[in-house]
């Protein structure tokens, strides 16, 4: 399997607080890697390092390396181009003050795409992938921020898919989405796996079990264990704390 | 008497008093406005001084607003708050904003009128800009800071450049708050200007007739301007409500 992302001895500090304590692992191409762990374990920080949005938090320091296709992401000068290669879905929907159509067309436009027909095709495809097309196809010009919470989150997913990323980072994407829609999006993720690598941060261990090829368990900034999902969710994972977490003994 | 009744009666009395003052003012002032002196800037009374000032203030005001918004965005979006540039500029603005407005008037009169060769327009412009700019910059800065970091992160995560994030996301989100701050700054300036104009005319001009000052007329104009400002502010807030 080809390595897509290689994380080596990654340490992150927010001022004096250490969020990641030197973690190392690989992410393979076209896999879904589930990342589970209780709050404050460094999951979101890890995603923000990968798409370099951690740079907006003042007073943070990053040590170690994260390589994307063998290239250190911090050596990449075109950071906007890097971020277009990585789609990001945040836990709560962030409504951009634009119409539904413009929300999805925003990233392709910033990348220079101007042809209406191409944009129309992208908007429809992404909204369908995010299981939102049927609900909004007749009101694409209305404000995205006026949609319900669950619809806005699906719009966020459509937006993340609009620039055809190589990697899709999902950070607790189902918090604001109802169970039925969650299942529909999960089905979409299974098909998207053929086109991209997916990092799925989730507090729902059963979601990781359903979707992920491999699962990583993080705790207090440490990577406790990473292995095939079947192994992690078996009765004999390598670490006792992993077993305790997935069986609900803590967290 | 119950406390609620006392409060209710007090409010009713105050409302009645305000209504009486407004009625008196309008009954005195409408005739002045109707006499055609509304657009006659040659009348040397408080109203014409006010009108002359307003004519000059509008272009200066627009320039000052654009300038202050640009400075605020530069400070908040392009400079790190820990940088020495940010610290120096922000502190100077804070000091300027905290100076009582009257001192700007004295400064304007002393420095721009007595000590320089500037014409009247520049005297007005420089004094006014000095008075308004620090307040509008600070209010715009607060509006920009009020935009949640997640909005920026979401836009940057899509590969947007800084200018895209500012124009398409931060500015629209902050717009209503920016405008509210600007309207407050304008209202404050109008209120102070009105007081100074009234005092100036009263002390400098000898009355030739019974009531040459037309203060009620000036008050009507100020009230209408305040009303217009309030309506415009509400309209903009309604039009820019993204949530």
> Among A164, A188, A213, where does a domain finish?
A164
Taking the C-alpha atoms of residue A46 and residue B198, their distance in angstroms, rounded to an integer, is: 64
Label residue A71 exposed, middle or buried (CB < 10 Å: 0-12, 13-18, 19+).
exposed
Is the minimum CB–CB distance between A14 and chain B shorter than 8 Å? Answer: no
User: Which of A97, A142, A160, A176 should one mutate to test binding to chain B, selecting the residue with the greatest count of B CBs within 10 A?
Assistant: A97
Asked whether the beta carbons of residue A110 and residue B169 sit closer than 8 angstroms, the reply is no
CB B218 within 8 A of CB B26: no
Within 8 A by CB and 6+ apart from A138, the residues are none
Residues of A in contact with B155 (CB under 8 A): 96, 106
Q: What is the ipTM of this complex?
A: 0.80
Kindly report the CATH number assigned to the domain that includes residue A214.
3.40.50.300
- Rounded to a whole number, what is the distance in Å from the CA of A96 to chain B's nearest CA? 6
Residues A79 and A92 occupy one common structural domain? no
CB A215 within 8 A of CB A25: no
Residues B5 and B118 occupy one common structural domain? no
> Among A145, A164, A183, where does a domain finish?
A164
**What are the pLDDT digits (tens) for B120-139?**
666 666 777 778 888 899 99
Residues A104 and A154 occupy one common structural domain? yes
A197 lies in some domain: no
Residue B31, pLDDT score: 61
Residues B127 and B23 occupy one common structural domain? no
For A110, name the nearest residue in chain B, comparing CA atoms only: B160
A58 lies in some domain: yes
Residue B108, pLDDT score: 65
Q: Which domain holds residue B16?
A: 1-31
Taking the C-alpha atoms of residue B29 and residue B25, their distance in angstroms, rounded to an integer, is: 6
Asked whether the beta carbons of residue A110 and residue B172 sit closer than 8 angstroms, the reply is no
A198 lies in some domain: no
A228 lies in some domain: yes
**What are the pLDDT digits (tens) for B31-46?**
655 555 544 544 455 5
CB A214 within 8 A of CB A228: yes
Residue B210, pLDDT score: 47
pLDDT at B20 over 50: yes
Residue A90, SS3? coil
**What are the pLDDT digits (tens) for A213-237?**
999 999 999 999 999 999 999 988 9
- Rounded to a whole number, what is the distance in Å from the CA of A40 to chain B's nearest CA? 18
Asked whether the beta carbons of residue A96 and residue B149 sit closer than 8 angstroms, the reply is no
A242 lies in some domain: yes
Asked whether the beta carbons of residue B152 and residue A56 sit closer than 8 angstroms, the reply is yes
Asked whether the beta carbons of residue A56 and residue B149 sit closer than 8 angstroms, the reply is yes
Taking the C-alpha atoms of residue A181 and residue A197, their distance in angstroms, rounded to an integer, is: 22
For A143, name the nearest residue in chain B, comparing CA atoms only: B242
CB A88 within 8 A of CB B150: no
Asked whether the beta carbons of residue A94 and residue B80 sit closer than 8 angstroms, the reply is no
């Amino acid at each position: 399997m080809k390595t897509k992302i290689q994380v080596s001895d990654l340490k992150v500090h927010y001022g004096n607080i250490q969020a990641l304590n030197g973690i190392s692992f690989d992410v393979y191409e076209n896999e879904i890697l589930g990342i589970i762990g209780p709050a404050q374990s460094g999951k979101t920080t890890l995603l923000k390092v990968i798409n370099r949005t951690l740079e907006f938090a003042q007073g943070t320091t990053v040590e170690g390396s994260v390589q994307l296709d063998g290239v250190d992401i911090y050596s990449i000068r075109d950071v906007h181009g890097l971020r277009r290669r990585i789609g990001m879905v945040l836990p709560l929907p962030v409504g951009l003050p634009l119409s539904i159509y413009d929300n999805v067309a925003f990233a392709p436009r910033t990348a220079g795409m101007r042809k209406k027909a191409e944009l129309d095709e992208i908007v429809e495809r992404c909204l369908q992938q995010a299981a939102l097309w049927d609900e909004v196809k007749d009101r694409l010009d209305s404000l995205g921020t006026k949609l319900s919470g669950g619809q806005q989150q699906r719009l966020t997913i459509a937006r993340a898919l609009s620039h055809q990323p190589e990697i899709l980072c999902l950070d607790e994407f189902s918090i604001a989405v109802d169970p039925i829609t969650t299942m529909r999006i999960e089905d979409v993720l299974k098909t998207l796996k053929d086109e991209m690598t997916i990092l799925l941060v989730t507090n729902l261990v059963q979601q990781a079990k359903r979707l992920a090829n491999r699962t990583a368990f993080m705790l207090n900034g440490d990577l406790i264990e990473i292995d095939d999902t079947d192994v992690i969710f078996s009765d004999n994972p390598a670490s006792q704390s992993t077993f305790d977490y997935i069986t609900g003994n803590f967290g | 008497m119950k406390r609620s009744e006392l409060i209710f009666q007090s409010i009713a009395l105050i409302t009645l008093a305000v209504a009486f003052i407004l009625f008196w003012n309008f009954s005195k002032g409408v005739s002045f406005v109707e006499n055609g002196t509304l657009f006659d800037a040659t009348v040397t009374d408080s109203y014409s001084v006010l009108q002359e000032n307003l004519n000059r203030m509008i272009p200066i005001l627009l320039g000052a607003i654009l300038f202050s918004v640009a400075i605020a965005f530069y400070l908040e979006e392009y400079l790190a708050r820990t940088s020495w540039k940010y610290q120096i500029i922000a502190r100077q603005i804070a000091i300027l904003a905290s100076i009582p407005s009257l001192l700007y008037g004295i400064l304007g009169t002393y420095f721009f009128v007595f000590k320089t060769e500037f014409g009247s327009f520049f005297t007005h412009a420089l004094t006014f800009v000095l008075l308004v700019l620090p307040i509008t910059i600070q209010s715009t800065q607060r509006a920009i800071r009020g935009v949640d970091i997640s909005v920026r992160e979401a836009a940057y995560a899509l590969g947007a450049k800084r200018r895209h994030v500012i124009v398409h996301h931060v500015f629209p989100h902050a717009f209503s708050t920016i405008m509210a701050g600007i309207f407050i700054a304008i209202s404050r300036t109008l209120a102070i200007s009105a007081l100074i104009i009234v005092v100036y005319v009263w002390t400098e001009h000898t009355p030739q007739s019974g009531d040459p000052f037309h203060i009620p007329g000036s008050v009507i104009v100020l009230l209408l301007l305040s009303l217009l400002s309030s309506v415009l502010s509400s309209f903009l807030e309604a039009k820019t409500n993204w949530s």
